[in-house]
A and B are shown apart, each in its own frame.
Chain A
């Protein structure tokens, strides 16, 4: 379906249940798994409604950092504040996490998967479905409400997973390589789709990806991480975050220059 990303129309922000501040602030963060030091003295800030990209070599601790931010892990040392909350429980309640694989539950329909956070919050089945259903058309999923995840295309599955994350109503979203499993064309479409979705409904996003182009297109700022133990090597400002025409944006000479700098840094070349 080559046009699936363009089918959906952006109309106004999503209904927010509350509006807590969505800033992320990390100072002097260290983390180790037993003997293995995964993160060593990391400082990072994301302002409210900012999209912060994280790129780094494989196994550098990107996913660990995301789990720390989301409150799934406790750091060995240092501070993490998400929406003003520093405790693990506080971070959990301010941040929704979208794992690398979509993790749609195969026994639920697309609609029930999307409505999962609402059900967990205590909404009845009918009420949760009604609320999730309102967003299906906007997400290009109209007509697929009753489909099981196995019957959906890769791009649709990611959109259901993203909708599920959004419907948690949390100000900060931690996305772990959300489009890594998709083919190149679908991935480009989904990046454009996410850019439009964020325009309509801004969130603070920490986006982990191994795709430098994806990071620079979707993010306001991209932090390049070192090999393990992870530190910030450099931070790059994206030239045209979420610009309307993705293909023109990523081939623009300025964009290409920043991408090359990021690639050099990732390879560890001297600057």
Chain B
């Protein structure tokens, strides 16, 4: 009850207040707007149902961009972290650049990627991967470096090779850190996909939102946001579940 009950209760209360405020026209009056521009939760829910086929079709496009981009970032982030961990020189050379790269606003890069790579899945995948890469790589590297020095000494006197130390001690130590990074990454990955679609696309939830905005289809716009949030929460939940299944020693 306390784990899910409290947030659910708060959520229900907020939705109820919104429902009352929107259906009585209080918000629209306060903002001096037409009523249809401020949809109530029940209108959003019915739009969600009426447009289920359209939403599902576009959600699938966005989900594919998110998943593929995330997997690319995961592979690149883990390999990069291991490489930096194994080579002091490489770490000193690239780590400051890695941090500096995070100050570049992704939203600026998105249109350039579209110019370079066109309207296909490529630029979206690239943007999602760029956003996901940093938290995965940095958390994994921190995890690899947090290994107990005595455990390494113990392994060395038991004749472990560098590779065996990495596989049997360092990698399992880093695993929970990698999961933390991946969970942060997957939560922001959907935003990356939407940015990518805004920069140029012909489908996806981000594309649909732009269209709804232009056509003043506000109920459907909110419905698309609901689907996007649900997607991010589901992905986060899947990772948390995988972590509980894999990191059994904590």
Complex Cα distance, B153 from A92, in Å, reads: 10
Residue contact B159 to A97, C-beta cutoff 8 Å: no
Residue contact A107 to B172, C-beta cutoff 8 Å: yes
Cβ of A93 to closest chain B Cβ, rounded Å: 7
Determine the chain B residues whose CB is within 8 A of the CB of A107 once the complex forms.
Answer: 172, 248-249
Determine the chain B residues whose CB is within 8 A of the CB of A99 once the complex forms.
Answer: 150, 153-154
Query: Is A233 part of the contact surface with B, judged by Cβ < 8 Å?
Result: no
Instruction: Tell whether A71 pairs with B157 under 8 Å between CB atoms, given A107-B172, A150-B249.
Output: yes
Complex Cα distance, B151 from A164, in Å, reads: 13
A234-270 contact mask (Cβ, 8 Å, vs B): 1 or 0: 0000000000000000000000000000000000000
Query: Is B87 part of the contact surface with A, judged by Cβ < 8 Å?
Result: no
Cβ of A168 to closest chain B Cβ, rounded Å: 5
Query: Is B103 part of the contact surface with A, judged by Cβ < 8 Å?
Result: no
Closest chain B residue to A67, Cβ basis: B153
Complex Cα distance, B58 from A205, in Å, reads: 69
Determine the chain B residues whose CB is within 8 A of the CB of A116 once the complex forms.
Answer: 155, 158, 168
Residue contact A120 to B249, C-beta cutoff 8 Å: no
Residue contact B151 to A120, C-beta cutoff 8 Å: no
Cβ of B111 to closest chain A Cβ, rounded Å: 45
Instruction: Tell whether A93 pairs with B159 under 8 Å between CB atoms, given A100-B150, A103-B148, A148-B249.
Output: yes
Q: How many residues of chain A get a CB closer than 8 Å to chain B's CBs?
A: 28
Determine the chain B residues whose CB is within 8 A of the CB of A105 once the complex forms.
Answer: 151, 168-169, 172
Residue contact B161 to A120, C-beta cutoff 8 Å: yes
Residue contact A120 to B148, C-beta cutoff 8 Å: no
Complex Cα distance, B155 from A168, in Å, reads: 11
Complex Cα distance, B161 from A97, in Å, reads: 16
Determine the chain A residues whose CB is within 8 A of the CB of B168 once the complex forms.
Answer: 105, 108, 116, 119
Query: Is B79 part of the contact surface with A, judged by Cβ < 8 Å?
Result: no
Determine the chain A residues whose CB is within 8 A of the CB of B156 once the complex forms.
Answer: 72, 92
Closest chain A residue to B151, Cβ basis: A103
Complex Cα distance, B159 from A70, in Å, reads: 12
Residue contact B148 to A121, C-beta cutoff 8 Å: no
Residue contact B159 to A120, C-beta cutoff 8 Å: yes
Highest count of chain B CB atoms <10 Å: which of A92, A97, A105: A105
Query: Is A13 part of the contact surface with B, judged by Cβ < 8 Å?
Result: no
A70-106 contact mask (Cβ, 8 Å, vs B): 1 or 0: 1110000000000000000000110111111101011
Determine the chain B residues whose CB is within 8 A of the CB of A97 once the complex forms.
Answer: 153-154, 157
Determine the chain B residues whose CB is within 8 A of the CB of A148 once the complex forms.
Answer: 248-249
Query: Is B160 part of the contact surface with A, judged by Cβ < 8 Å?
Result: yes
Determine the chain A residues whose CB is within 8 A of the CB of B24 once the complex forms.
Answer: none
Cβ of B117 to closest chain A Cβ, rounded Å: 41
Complex Cα distance, B155 from A119, in Å, reads: 11
B198-214 contact mask (Cβ, 8 Å, vs A): 1 or 0: 00000000000000000
Closest chain A residue to B250, Cβ basis: A106
Query: Is A65 part of the contact surface with B, judged by Cβ < 8 Å?
Result: no
Complex Cα distance, B169 from A108, in Å, reads: 10
Query: Is B164 part of the contact surface with A, judged by Cβ < 8 Å?
Result: yes
Determine the chain A residues whose CB is within 8 A of the CB of B153 once the complex forms.
Answer: 67, 70, 72, 97, 99
Determine the chain A residues whose CB is within 8 A of the CB of B248 once the complex forms.
Answer: 107, 148
Complex Cα distance, B150 from A24, in Å, reads: 23
Determine the chain B residues whose CB is within 8 A of the CB of A190 once the complex forms.
Answer: none
Query: Is A208 part of the contact surface with B, judged by Cβ < 8 Å?
Result: no
Instruction: Tell whether A117 pairs with B249 under 8 Å between CB atoms, given A105-B169, A107-B172.
Output: no
Closest chain B residue to A118, Cβ basis: B158
Determine the chain A residues whose CB is within 8 A of the CB of B169 once the complex forms.
Answer: 105
Closest chain B residue to A150, Cβ basis: B249
Residue contact B160 to A120, C-beta cutoff 8 Å: yes
Residue contact A92 to B157, C-beta cutoff 8 Å: yes
Residues of B bordering A, CB below 8 Å: 148, 150-151, 153-161, 164, 168-169, 172, 248-250
Which A-B residue pairs are the 8 nearest by beta carbons? A97-B157, A106-B249, A117-B158, A107-B172, A99-B150, A120-B160, A103-B154, A107-B249
> Other CB < 8 Å A-B pairs besides A105-B172, A116-B168, 6 of them?
A72-B153, A93-B159, A96-B157, A96-B158, A97-B157, A103-B148
Residues of A bordering B, CB below 8 Å: 67, 70-72, 92-93, 95-101, 103, 105-108, 116-117, 119-121, 148, 150, 164, 168, 174
Q: What would 17 A/B residue contacts be, using CB atoms closer than 8 Å?
A: A71-B157, A72-B157, A92-B156, A96-B158, A97-B157, A98-B154, A99-B150, A101-B150, A103-B154, A106-B249, A116-B155, A116-B168, A117-B158, A120-B160, A150-B249, A168-B157, A168-B158
